[in-house]
Structure 1
Amino acid sequence: MSADQSARDAAERDRLALEKKRERYVWYYLGYFLFGIHIVAFVMIYAVRHAK
Structure 2
Amino acid sequence: MIPDPVPADDPEQAAEQERLALEKKRERYVWYYLAYFLFGIHIVAFVMIYAVRHAK
TM over 0.5: yes
1:30 aligned to 24, 31, 34, which one?
A: 34
Amino acid at match of 2:41: I
Q: Equivalent residue of 1:31, what SS?
A: helix
Which of 49, 52, 55 is the equivalent residue of 1:51?
Answer: 55
Structure number with higher helix proportion? 1
5+ residue gaps, structure 1, are none
Larger radius of gyration: 1
**Higher RCO (Cα < 8 Å, 6 or more apart):** 2
Separation in 2 of the partners of 1:27 and 1:47? 30
- For structure 2, the 5+ residue unaligned runs are 1-8
Percent identity between the two aligned chains: 83
Provide the alpha-carbon RMSD of the alignment.
0.8
Q: Runs in 1 of length 4+ with deviation above 4 angstroms?
A: none
Q: TM-score, normalised by structure 1?
A: 0.89
